[in-house]
Amino acid sequence: MASVKRQIILAVGLLAGATAVTFLLFLNRPSTEISEPVYIPVTVDVVEAEQETIRIPVQAQGTVSPLQQTELVAEVQGRIVEVAESFNVGGFLRQGEILLRIDPRDYEAQLARAEAALRSAESELLQERGRADVARREWERLPAGSQRSDEARDLYLRKPQLAQAEAQRLAAAADVNTARDDLERTVVRAPYDALIGAKHSELGHYVTPGASLAEVFAVAMAEVRLPIPQTRLAYLDLPGVATDAGSAVIDLYTDVGGDVTHWTARLHRSEGVFDERSRALFAVARIDDPYALNSPGREPLRIGTFVNASIQGRPMPGLVALPRYVLRAGDMVAVVDDNNLVRNRKVTTLRAAGDFIYVSSGLENGDLVILTALDSALTGAEVEVVSRISSSELRPQRTPTPAAPVETPVAPDVAASP
């Protein structure tokens, strides 16, 4: 019983001691200081809008094709007795260079016979002219009354025989020309500076007229057909059907594993007919010396290469170029107002591909468009501008990326606001 009382007294003593310590701590507590929260503005980068005259580049894609492509066929028959060393697929030929020879012996014999027949006809013509001259003198000595009719005079003067001899000489001369042409056709020459795209004959083959020998294509100039959607035609000065070639500069480039190669082309013409499937108008660009035969050290642009194209547009005034990622849903961009607050601004943009949008209305010179990605919840929040750049300076710093194919109709990437 005494043990229980001691435990109760000990517990009460400990509780009283804890209460006293707590009370002393409460009396000696430090004073509480209440301070206002400090708001730190969000730092942003901005681009200062500057309206300028811009040539909007139009992106397209196409395949390089030869300007001229010819199938060489045999015009005479015979066995091929000689071929050029470059008579292989991919071989280069200068204009007039001999590609192959067909056995000329039969045609040399035909030419010799034709020349002999011509000399015989010329001899016969000379003899007939002599006979006609003798007959004319005799006719002049005849009495006037013996000259009966014009027909009789012509027969006496051997005019029909002279005309026949002249006709035989002309026919023999034509046979000589034909035989000479056939002999020349035994030698097949390159019609222009060309590469051999395919060959269908070889040394020793016997060919007949019309047989295909090889296919060649010109290397002095190449073409690329570029589909232009209807929505982009307003950005270009395309030559009409009956007008001269355009002056727009076209940058052709390929990107193979990050290795980008560029070639310069010029807009030559538009085909004037919309493609029924893609509803695109094809513009044709021309490239001089695609194989760099006259420009050593330049990368050749081979026939069949699939290239991207950036076509220089016509000058369009009053546009502001901005990076595409600043455009928000509903054609909105975030701007900084005079009080350094974030505001949404509705703009009107032109349809264009690439890394940039082109604002035609909604921004004035000096407006600050935010480049930093901000959550929409920060609309109305105060921001601090840490760096700014003019839109005219920002645009040249960025390189357009290849456009998506436009062979089939697709929805425009940036639709113009109504």
Cα(366)–Cα(333) distance, integer angstroms: 15
pLDDT tens, position by position, 102-145? 999 999 999 999 999 999 888 888 888 887 777 777 766 666 66
Q: Based on the domain organization, do 333 and 210 belong to the same domain? A: no
Q: Based on the domain organization, do 193 and 228 belong to the same domain? A: no
Domain count along the chain: 3
Q: Is residue 12 part of a domain?
A: no
pLDDT tens, position by position, 194-230? 999 999 999 999 999 999 999 999 999 999 999 988 8
Q: Based on the domain organization, do 291 and 357 belong to the same domain? A: no
Which residue is listed with tokens 């009354």? Answer: 145
For residue 405, pLDDT over 90 is answered with: no
Q: At 186, is the pLDDT very low, low, confident or very high (cuts 50, 70, 90)?
A: very high
Q: Based on the domain organization, do 91 and 158 belong to the same domain? A: yes
- The rounded mean pLDDT for the chain is 83
CATH, residue 212 = 2.40.50.100
Regarding beta strands 78-83 and 98-102, do their DSSP bridges make them parallel or antiparallel, or are they unpaired?
Answer: antiparallel
Q: Based on the domain organization, do 92 and 189 belong to the same domain? A: yes
Backbone angles phi, psi at 298, to 5 degrees: -85, 145
Domain that residue 191 falls in: 77-216
For residue 401, pLDDT over 60 is answered with: no
Domain end, chosen from 290, 311, 332, is at: 311
In 56-122, at which residue ranges do the beta strands (DSSP E only) sit? 58-66, 69-73, 78-83, 92-93, 98-102
Q: Based on the domain organization, do 235 and 142 belong to the same domain? A: no
Of residues 265, 273, 267, the one with CA closest to residue 238: 267
The H or E element that residue 260 is part of is: strand 259-274
Q: At 150, is the pLDDT very low, low, confident or very high (cuts 50, 70, 90)?
A: low
The H or E element that residue 50 is part of is: none
Domain end, chosen from 291, 311, 331, is at: 311
For residue 273, pLDDT over 60 is answered with: yes
Of residues 308, 89, 63, 307, the one with CA closest to residue 217: 89
The pTM for the full model equals: 0.66
What would the two tokens of residue 402 be?
Answer: 């290849």
Q: Is residue 322 part of a domain?
A: yes
Torsion of CA 81, 86, 89, 94, to 10 degrees: -110
Q: Is residue 143 part of a domain?
A: yes
Number of helical (H) and strand (E) elements in the chain, helices listed first: 5, 23
Rounded mean pLDDT, 21-46: 77
CATH, residue 259 = 2.40.30.170
Q: Based on the domain organization, do 206 and 227 belong to the same domain? A: no
Cα(137)–Cα(149) distance, integer angstroms: 17
> Which amino acid is located at 410 in the chain?
V
Q: Based on the domain organization, do 212 and 324 belong to the same domain? A: no
Q: Is residue 16 part of a domain?
A: no
pLDDT tens, position by position, 319-356? 999 998 888 888 899 999 888 898 999 999 887 667 88
Q: Based on the domain organization, do 272 and 367 belong to the same domain? A: no
Q: Based on the domain organization, do 303 and 322 belong to the same domain? A: no
Q: Is residue 5 part of a domain?
A: no
- What contacts 328, CB < 8 A, 6 or more positions away? 334, 344, 376
Degrees, nearest 5: CA angle 200-206-209:
80
The confidence score (pLDDT) of residue 400 equals: 41
25 three-class SS: helix
Q: Based on the domain organization, do 96 and 198 belong to the same domain? A: yes
> Which amino acid is located at 197 in the chain?
G
The confidence score (pLDDT) of residue 407 equals: 37
